[in-house]
Amino acid sequence: MALQLAPSTLSVPKKGSTMGAVGVKDTAAFLGVSSKTKKTMAVRTQVATAPTPVSTSPGSTTSSPGGKKTLRQGVVVITGASSGLGLAAAKALAETGKWHVVMACRDFLKASKAAKAAGMANGSYTVMHLDLASLDSVRQFVDAFRRAEMPLDVLVCNAAIYRPTARTPTFTADGHEMSVGVNHLGHFLLARLMMEDLQKSDYPSRRLVIVGSITGNVNTLAGNVPPKANLGDLRGLAGGLTGASGSAMIDGDESFDGAKAYKDSKVCNMLTMQEFHRRYHEDTGITFSSLYPGCIATTGLFREHIPLFRTLFPPFQRFVTKGFVSEAESGKRLAQVVGEPSLTKSGVYWSWNKDSASFENQLSQEASDPEKARKVWELSEKLVGLA
Ligand code: LMG
Ligand code: NDP
Ligand code: PMR
């Protein structure tokens, strides 16, 4: 029963509460495997599902009658949880009973229907509106989340768009090129604002996960399929990616290339994760991670590609590159990065080998360049109004 409630009557797990106690680096990074195995709902802002029972005891643990300490349910926010990787991870996490999933989505009804169709239990999730193509919407989401008085234990920046066939750029409400605007800038503002919430959380392992990809890494075969990611000297980003008065591409190129814009945005995602790590990990203990979940060739990411591509791409990845993973498998991988005790190391870009074992992967030179990361951070701060 997904209740649609006005914010004033919203009932969700409370901050600091107990929400139902429950109990390689290697040279083969080029192939992405380890050497061992070689329309927007603008007005309505939130819906609450029936909440998990809330107790008033503070702290991240509670004592059972036997005196055994059990961890409270964690709260994880996942952007773009209405399909693909985000939905699969939401389902995997909710099913454990250890997590309450906040699905932060631009299409409210689609997300609610997707959660139901995926069989997610009532009370295991909350759908809230977030359109990353509008910085106002990002700020409204943060306000709405805070009003709901949930703790924030893990934030997953997962949503993305890919416009491979677009010949001209489109723009966010704030006038930035859409792929970088949604995939990077919207998430940059969201993550920066929600650092405050993550820092308040008493959960033992607080994490910020930003989904990356192999295609942004030119130290891999996949990253060498044209057009290749390249942020250049960032002059386009410095100009605001407006297109009209300058370039819509980060490197300042005058011609728009949607596939490159996507790959560039993924480089920004991976650089941002590392810059967060450098700036905040030591002081806050928060874990910052990125990942390449595998090639999930069946998701909505390819919705704008030509039908022939959509038909051939899954078998090509399955039988030729063997990089294919199902949505369910990718969801389990992201769920590991959210909650597995073995994946607490910060600053890591995770990948999985052919046996589906996680390993610390190597990023390309550009995607691990600290100077570029600092510049992307500073330019992005200006574009989203933080500096
Ligand atoms: C663009 O096309 C699209 O135009 C754009 O819209 C967007 O989609 C973009 O990357 C996304 O791609 C790329 C296009 C051109 O590639 C193709 O799609 C051509 C397909 C050719 C099919 C031949 C494959 C044979 C397999 C048969 C299986 C049948 C199923 C087909 C399924 C199709 C789905 C793909 O790209 C080219 O120009 C082709 C060149 C490909 C280059 C591959 C990269 C070589 C890498 C070598 C790198 C060496 C670098 C060394 C670095 C060392 C570091 C240690
Ligand atoms: P999907 O298209 O299935 O999912 C993308 C999600 O992002 C959808 O929920 C979509 O919402 C949402 N979204 C798009 N635009 C906005 C916006 N303006 N505001 C809020 N949400 C938005 O793609 P995937 O599941 O494949 O992609 C998920 C992540 O995985 C991305 O970061 C992608 O880069 C990454 N990735 C994917 C790979 C793959 O092979 N598929 C490989 C490597 C990384 P809606 O449902 O309303 O469209
Ligand atoms: Mg790619 C090991 C080889 C490998 C892997 C893991 C991927 C992943 N791809 C590989 C190889 C190749 N691809 C080769 C050899 C080709 C040329 C035939 C090729 C082509 C190709 C295209 C046209 N691949 C693509 C496209 C896309 O449009 C996808 C893209 O670049 O989106 C930005 C894509 C992808 N290949 C991948 C992955 C994971 C993608 C999806 C991109 C992403 O989510 O980041």
Q: Which atom number of ligand 3 is nearest to the Cα of residue 213?
A: 45
> With 90 as the cut, is the pLDDT of residue 22 above it?
no
* pLDDT grade for 84, boundaries at 50, 70 and 90: very high
Angle of the 327-339 helix axis to the 84-96 helix axis, nearest 10: 60
Residue from 142, 158, 210, 318 to probe ligand 2 pocket by mutation (most atoms less than 8 Å from CB): 158
Nearest residue (CA) to ligand 1, atom 14: 226
> With 80 as the cut, is the pLDDT of residue 54 above it?
no
- Burial (0-12, 13-18, 19+ Cβ within 10 Å), 355: exposed
The answer to whether 31 touches 351, Cβ cutoff 8 Å, is no
The answer to whether 152 touches 198, Cβ cutoff 8 Å, is yes
pLDDT tens digits, 211-245: 999 999 999 999 999 999 999 999 999 999 998 77
* pLDDT grade for 246, boundaries at 50, 70 and 90: confident
Q: Quick one: pLDDT at residue 272?
A: 98
Nearest residue (CA) to ligand 1, atom 2: 226
Rounded distance from Cα 61 to ligand 2 centre (Å):
34
Handedness of CA 314, 318, 320, 322 (dihedral sign): positive
Any atom of ligand 3 within 6 Å of the Cβ of 31:
yes
Q: Quick one: pLDDT at residue 63?
A: 59
CA dist 6 and 45 (Å) reads 9
> With 80 as the cut, is the pLDDT of residue 48 above it?
no
* pLDDT grade for 11, boundaries at 50, 70 and 90: very low
Q: Which atom number of ligand 3 is nearest to the Cα of residue 309?
A: 23
Q: Which of 22-36, 58-72, 213-227, 359-373 has the lowest mean pLDDT?
A: 22-36
Q: In this prediction, what percent of the chain has a pLDDT beyond 70?
A: 82
Reply yes or no: is the peptide bond before residue 151 cis, omega within 30 of 0: no
Give the SS3 label for residue 105. strand
> With 60 as the cut, is the pLDDT of residue 147 above it?
yes
Rounded distance from Cα 120 to ligand 2 centre (Å):
19
Nearest residue (CA) to ligand 2, atom 31: 160
Ligand 1 is surrounded, with C-beta below 6 A, by 30, 164-165, 219, 221, 224-226, 259, 309, 312-313, 316, 320
For residue 264, give every residue at least 6 positions away whose Cβ sits within 8 Å of its Cβ, in sequence order, or none: 179, 180, 216, 229, 230, 231, 249, 250, 251
Rounded distance from Cα 16 to ligand 3 centre (Å):
43
CA dist 267 and 105 (Å) reads 23
Rounded distance from Cα 315 to ligand 1 centre (Å):
15
Residue from 31, 213, 225, 306 to probe ligand 1 pocket by mutation (most atoms less than 8 Å from CB): 225
Q: Quick one: pLDDT at residue 171?
A: 97
Q: Give the active site residue among 162, 203, 262, 292.
A: 262
Any atom of ligand 3 within 6 Å of the Cβ of 215:
yes
Strands (E), the chain: 46-47, 61-63, 69-71, 74-79, 99-105, 125-129, 154-157, 207-211, 287-291, 348-352, 358-360
Strands (E), 226-320: 287-291
Ligand 2 is surrounded, with C-beta below 6 A, by 79-80, 82-86, 105-107, 110, 130-133, 158-161, 182, 211, 213, 266, 292-293, 295-297, 299-301
pTM of the predicted protein model? 0.88
Give the SS3 label for residue 174. coil
Tokens coding 96 = 């454990």
> Is residue 349 among the annotated active site residues?
no
Nearest residue (CA) to ligand 3, atom 1: 222
Average model confidence (pLDDT) across the chain: 87
pLDDT tens digits, 357-376: 999 999 999 999 999 999 99
